[in-house]
Amino acid sequence: MRRNRRVKILATLGPASSSEEMIRKLHEAGTDVFRINMSHADHDLMRSLVQRIRKVEADLGRPIGILADLQGPKLRVGKFSDGKVDLELGQTFTLDDNPAPGDKTRVQLPHPEILEAVEVGHRLLIDDGRLQLECTATDKHHIECKVVAGSRISDRKGVSLPDTTLSTGALTDKDRADLDAVLAENVDWVALSFIQRPDDLAEARKIARGRAFLLSKIEKPQAVERLDEIIELSDAIMVARGDLGVELPLEAVPGIQKRITRAARRAGKPVVVATQMLESMISAPVPTRAEVSDVSIAVYEGADAIMLSAESAAGQYPIESVAMMDRIAQRVEKDPLYPGIIFAQRPEPEPTGADAVSLAARQMAETLGVAAIVTYTATGTTGLRTARERPQTPIIALSPVLATARRLSLVWGMHCVVTEDAQDLDDMVDRACRIAVEEGYAKSGERVIVTAGVPLRTPGATNMLRIAYIGSDGLSAV
């Protein structure tokens, strides 16, 4: 199944899309990677979803990626005696460690790490920022606040801390149990929520031991401040605009999105743009014009993937949402302005053999007008460096490792094919030509560029580039 676009589509599974039939339809409509949200899926449901995705993958013969999104720490206030209270601007309201039901003056905050970390002047945002408090005094057991915006608070509403860095890590006990469970099912990507610092990846990396790639969700100001360090330690990045828009001024989010996508591309790490991309299609068969523009901007920006959340998980039009996103992406990538915009953002190559070969492959492909760039990649590194160049020539990634092909399904431009490892250089070139023809990217008389590492089966040693002519038998003519 050949996609007619380079940006990938990531769709969340949920009540509206959990059957094998719906998963198949979503994939056929354009989904490249499926997201399982562990905030709403228990281990039994997760296992069932993985099995259904793998069944569809086997039936269609195409590698499909799976991303398990860990919930992360959920910070909430306690309960009120009447379920909710109305507050007044400027009044004093206290968050404390007293488990008694709350009233108009106070409520429990059952998170000692917050009570210990918040300082005078820090903001506390309740219920996605609908209520804004500012700390005026604290003694590690009480946080005395002034109400600066909003007027209502009710049971178990979430707490966001835009100014506070917590001492605890990003993994909760639930996350650790979920991580063990998803790794046992061989998911391809694990998304880490509410990353604050580079150190937050260390525990997950130690547990994963290379069994899955780690994607860091950037959704807190503290993560934005240390963005380059987090990117360096991550396998991919997500622009989680929902929580970013709670903890940062809404008007700052578009600029941060561009900063994150460009920083990730410079590093050669996949970047996903997520949250409310086609939100109105939860209940409507068509999106708003503003949503279409929002999706288009992410594609023009060179994002590796764009994501659907509730639109595909719980909406009334999951298939239509994927199909709409697919059509928007195709139209943008056919825009005559698109290559110039992508080229203007192209980062300088790093002084490595892999980057030198990838740069040369892109330049030669565009100069000679070859049919495809075919790259051999066992670990995915060669594919990632090739995609970093954003060539306008199609990229075919050949790998003998199914897990690698599945992981690369998140990466811009990658058409992944699982194939047996080449026996020697001639076999490698013949195999590249034959697969390029079989997959519909090339035909007899055309040329392809082949990149790989020699000696073969040497991870991270991309050092070979070859131009191959395709003969009448579909194999290399030279």
Q: What is the pLDDT along the chain (478 residues), one digit of tens a residue?
A: 789 999 999 999 999 999 999 999 999 999 999 999 999 999 999 999 999 999 999 999 999 999 999 999 999 999 999 999 999 999 999 999 999 999 999 999 999 999 999 999 999 999 999 999 999 999 999 999 999 999 999 999 999 999 999 988 889 999 999 999 999 999 999 999 999 999 999 999 999 999 999 999 999 999 999 999 999 999 999 999 999 999 999 999 999 999 999 999 999 999 999 999 999 999 999 999 999 999 999 999 999 999 999 999 999 999 999 999 999 999 999 999 999 999 998 899 899 888 999 999 999 999 999 999 999 999 999 999 999 999 999 999 999 999 999 999 999 999 999 999 888 888 999 999 999 999 999 999 999 999 988 776 666 678 889 999 998 877 766 5
Sheet (strand 131-138) strand order: 106-108, 92-96, 142-149, 131-138, 123-126, 159-160
pTM attached to this predicted model:
0.94
Does the annotation mark 275 as catalytic? yes
User: Cα–Cα distance between 228 and 252 in angstroms, integer?
Assistant: 18
Q: Which of 25, 54, 74, 76 is catalytic?
A: 76
Half-sphere exposure in the Cβ direction for 451 (13 Å, CA): 32
Q: Which of 5, 6, 123, 217 is catalytic?
A: 217
pLDDT (0 to 100) of residue 422: 84
pLDDT (0 to 100) of residue 423: 85
15: exposed, middle or buried (Cβ count in 10 Å: 0-12, 13-18, 19+) = exposed
Residues 6+ apart with CB under 8 A from 363: none
Does the annotation mark 35 as catalytic? yes
* Range(s) of the chain covered by CATH 2.40.33.10: 84-160
Q: What is the dihedral of CA 347, 233, 172, 121, to 10 degrees?
A: -70
| CATH code of the domain occupying 8-72+169-337 | 3.20.20.60
**Given its phi and psi angles, is residue 332 left (phi above 0), alpha (psi -120 to 50 degrees) or beta?**
alpha
Four-residue CA torsion sign, 415, 418, 421, 425: negative
Q: Does domain 84-160 have CATH number 2.40.33.10?
A: yes
403, 419, 414, 416: which is closest to 188 by C-alpha?
403
User: What is the number of other CB atoms lying within 10 angstroms of the CB of residue 217?
Assistant: 27
pLDDT (0 to 100) of residue 458: 66
42, 41, 64: which is closest to 52 by C-alpha?
64
Q: What is the dihedral of CA 130, 166, 266, 450, to 10 degrees?
A: -110
Does the annotation mark 172 as catalytic? no
Q: Which of 24, 35, 62, 385 is catalytic?
A: 35
User: Cα–Cα distance between 137 and 121 in angstroms, integer?
Assistant: 9
Does the annotation mark 47 as catalytic? no
Alpha carbon distances (Å) from 432 to 44, 427, 478: 40, 8, 13
Residues 6+ apart with CB under 8 A from 228: 263, 267
Contact 451, 386 (CB under 8 A): yes
| CATH code of the domain occupying 353-469 | 3.40.1380.20
pLDDT (0 to 100) of residue 460: 62
* Range(s) of the chain covered by CATH 3.20.20.60: 8-72+169-337
**DSSP code at position 302:** T
pLDDT (0 to 100) of residue 478: 55
Q: Which of 94, 138, 261, 275 is catalytic?
A: 275
